[in-house]
A and B are shown apart, each in its own frame.
Chain A
């Protein structure tokens, strides 16, 4: 299993890493929620066994449901569609690709590593608000 670290995020200092689960706990092309220090995170395993993490809170409905969206692709971009009102987000960056007629609102994305089959998520260390990424 290769180690997947987003370069820019890894470069950012002061991430607190949390071991979440093993890769086999995640179904391919489906999401799962995780609770890390009280923070709800949505994990996604794509068909090529990449793992991505974004916030579990759907910014449009204010419900914690992002992990229950449908995983897919737009061109080469891996995506998730909100199960609530179907906005589509880039799994890598959290960027909103289709706001379905609303103002685009991004998701917070998190660094993920998979080492020896163990999935870890890096959360920004507690600091001033907005200090993430």
Chain B
């Protein structure tokens, strides 16, 4: 395409993050090629992520700090001049002179020169070993100085950081990472005086001191004493001097406005090029953006408002009307591993504000919300030690919070997610100024289908990343709402979800897989849908899990009623209800283990697991166990596993109810109940909760008046505490409530969905479930009761039944043409007096193998 005109010349002075954003924004919008851009970058490298500078100390390469891709610098309309500074500006001639002796003409000039690190005028500030903290070169110089010094002196190194603000704590983190014992010296009476209040500063001090950093607040540095030209001691206006090997000044930044001053542009009282809300200086051909700009009477040291200014200038250069909306000075940082966030009117400067404060010195947490005088509207806040609520709270500044503000300050997960009803104009990503509406739009209009796509499309979450949890929630909500259906189909063979399938099987009284797939599915099933249908048929009490065609539906664990282990052998778990077992029972299990050479281990569910059984041994092992009075423990099934109990009032000095008795009754009642996922129960005899019942799907805790019932707990990958469903129930009501809860779960949960996720996903949550099982809000109570009664009456021990059926037993042959021949590839070695599978190298050296599980049965 032919350019309509010769492009106009834009010169950008400065090579920081804001300068890059300006070039990026201009080039992505200037499709007609109206502007050619020259970027003068004083540092010998392209713009980099200065915010992440400290990560340079944790092993990151300078290249890792690159911002975006190289493509921008390959653009023919963009010229990047590295290592070249602007030396003067001729505003009448519209030219810039550069340090390499050139004179560049401009149609528009943008000053993006940023700041330099301020150094207080203390004696000794120019000694070797005194540094500032601003550029990659500063940081690299500091690192090599420390590393060289370490080779010279044979003692731990000591350092000081002058300045306890944001940058100072960054620098302290860098020194600590270099293994330097660090003291932070702050003139103000607290750390981070600009961001946090006194309480927050105290919390921060405790957290930082716990990391081995010494903090001296309210301290003015008087001078730095040198020895052989290098820093060696600091002296203060008051208090003891401090021996140091290195000093970092981090007392703040000053705008680099020399070019503007020399060329006669207006500058602010405390420095900075004065601009209006369009970022224009007093010369209409010259703009200023970022830290060098004095906007609304002050300079701003954060990257987010700088980005906003860059966007405005890009917009104005192309004839747009953008204006600066005012700066969001919110910050969230991880300094020395400590979360600190401050947002909105953090100091309650606006009259009539109410402060809600939670201060927990033990947990190392300080949180404050500033609310309007009616406690409805959020004005700002400070979070120290745990800033997880920041992403949800910051966009709510100036809006009604809804509910008790204190609830937002409670730890982990307790804060409700306002993402669903966040207004479209709420800024979610303040670094890149992305609103909730823009994120929703990227899903609905731009067709993004995941978080990565939305990040690429909107830039949300690409700078500091603190808003990512919120972005993710918005994306998920929007995906679910819009056409992109989150399919509930079970697999390629069934369009129905598990709950729907359960209903049609139950209502139509279907009893075989062939019938079900012919009526409601396609093909011949798979390892997803077959076990689900096997489980549904079992839940509905339609006979033995291995009866007829049903056997082909079962996963190998259910198929041989044992648990497959890594080498192809199985483990066997007899049921020990409530964890109560007689000495005779223990002896019987021990003898079986001994005779078959099995490895034995106590499980977390208070029973005994026997490992290393070959498939053809399983019936022989179970014959012995059944004869000794044991039955299947269903450790292999998606079904009730155990009801764990403490010893309860029978023996315990503190127990108030018979927890063992109840646990046994519950385990015998629900044994064999097939469910969408495994089920674990627990019963504790008093509030001390020794049975860890709240970590179970159903937990019962004894009270003086009866039983408290908790539901929806689990351990595993995402541990959950069970929530209180009902209090002080008598035993009969308790059992009926558990009956209904379990049966309702079995009927309506998704495949492999444990009770915690089911409760969470259930419309109306726990309250709605409580209404169903206690108040019979759906009118299905009697039906659920009947179904459970059917299960209890229909129970038979799967293993005893299998031993009586020669057809079932035939499946346990090792080989169809040699049913008693052991798999000779199984190999074991002895460890701590028991067999375990041999490793690959042990197999190669067959001398270490032991007989393992090949011993014959005695008797």
Contact = CB atoms under 8 A, between A and B. Distances in A.
B524 A27 contact: no
Contact of B556 (A21, A83, A88): A83
B556 A65 contact: yes
B549 A28 contact: yes
Contact of B527 (A28, A30, A40, A88): A88
A83 to B, nearest CB: 4
B811 interface: yes
Contact of A34 (B566, B567, B815): B815
Interface stretch (B129-137, B213-221, B816-824): B816-824
Contacts of B523: 72-75
Contacts of B814: 33
B527 A63 contact: no
Contact of B555 (A64, A79, A83): A83
A55 to B, nearest CB: 12
B730 interface: no
A26 B551 contact: no
A43 B552 CA distance: 14
B816 A20 contact: yes
6 contacts: A32-B816, A34-B817, A65-B564, A74-B492, A75-B492, A86-B527
Interface residues of A, number: 38
A53 B717 CA distance: 38
A113 interface: no
Nearest to B818: A35
B508 interface: no
A64 B568 contact: yes
Given A32-B816, A64-B823, A47 B527 contact: no
B515 to A, nearest CB: 13
A70 B530 contact: yes
Nearest to A68: B556
Given A21-B817, A30-B552, A40-B823, A72 B567 contact: no
Contact of B825 (A64, A68, A69): A64
A-B residue pairs, 9 tightest by C-beta: A63-B568, A72-B526, A81-B527, A83-B556, A70-B527, A68-B556, A29-B552, A73-B524, A32-B816
A16 interface: no
Interface string A58-93: 100111110011111111001101011010100000
B566 A47 contact: no
Nearest to A33: B815
Contacts of A35: 815, 817-818, 821
A27 B527 contact: no
Secondary structure call for the B interface: loop
B159 to A, nearest CB: 47
A4 interface: no
User: Chain B interface: which size bin?
Assistant: 20 to 34
A26 to B, nearest CB: 7
B564 A83 contact: yes
Nearest to B557: A83
B551 A30 contact: yes
A72 B552 CA distance: 10
B816 A72 contact: no
Nearest to B565: A63
Contacts of A68: 556, 559-560, 564, 615
A20 B530 contact: no
A84 B564 contact: yes
Contacts of B555: 70, 83
Nearest to A30: B552
B527 A69 contact: yes
A64 B837 CA distance: 14
A25 B551 CA distance: 15
A99 B553 CA distance: 22
Nearest to A61: B566
Given A27-B552, A65-B556, A83-B556, A20 B817 contact: yes
Interface of B: 492-493, 523-527, 529-531, 549, 551-553, 555-556, 559-560, 564, 566-568, 615, 811, 813-818, 821, 823, 825, 840
Contacts of B525: 70, 72-73
A109 interface: no
A70 B815 CA distance: 17
Contacts of A27: 551-552, 811
Given A32-B816, A34-B816, A61-B566, 4 more contacts: A20-B817, A43-B816, A64-B825, A70-B526
Contacts of A25: 816
Contacts of A84: 564, 566, 568
Contact of B552 (A64, A71, A78): A71
A73 B528 CA distance: 11
Interface string A1-42: 000000000000000000011000111111011111000100
A32 B812 CA distance: 10
A48 B615 CA distance: 27
Contacts of A70: 525-527, 530-531, 552-553, 555
B652 to A, nearest CB: 43
A126 B113 CA distance: 78
A47 B815 contact: no
Contacts of B821: 35
A34 B615 CA distance: 14
Contacts of A34: 815-817
Nearest to B816: A32
Contacts of A65: 556, 564, 568
Given A27-B551, A64-B568, A74 B526 contact: yes
A63 B843 CA distance: 13
B526 A63 contact: no
Contacts of B564: 65, 68, 83-84
Contacts of B816: 20-21, 25-26, 32-34, 43
Contact of A46 (B524, B527, B531, B559): B524
With most chain B CB atoms within 10 A of its CB, the pick from A21, A29, A81 is: A29
Contacts of B556: 65, 68-69, 83
Contacts of A83: 555-556, 564
Interface centre among B529, B816, B821, by most chain A C-beta atoms within 10 angstroms, is: B816
A3 B568 CA distance: 33
Contacts of A61: 566, 568
A101 to B, nearest CB: 16
Contacts of A75: 492, 523
Contacts of A47: 524
Nearest to A38: B824
B531 to A, nearest CB: 7
A27 B815 CA distance: 13
A97 to B, nearest CB: 11
Contacts of A73: 493, 523-526
A28 B529 CA distance: 17
A34 B413 CA distance: 54
Nearest to A81: B527
A35 B815 CA distance: 6
A130 B567 CA distance: 25
Between A47, A63, A78, the greatest number of chain B beta carbons within 10 A of the residue's beta carbon is seen for: A63
A61 B552 CA distance: 22
Given A29-B552, A63-B567, A72 B527 contact: yes
A71 B525 CA distance: 8
A81 B526 contact: yes
A83 B570 CA distance: 12
Interface in A77-129: 78-79, 81, 83-84, 86, 88
The listed residue with most B CB atoms (<10 A of its CB), out of A36, A58, A84, is A84
Contacts of B527: 69-70, 72, 81, 86, 88
A43 B815 CA distance: 10
Contacts of B492: 74-75
B521 to A, nearest CB: 11
A61 B549 CA distance: 28
A12 B515 CA distance: 41
Contacts of A58: 568
A31 B764 CA distance: 45
Nearest to B530: A70
Contacts of B813: 32
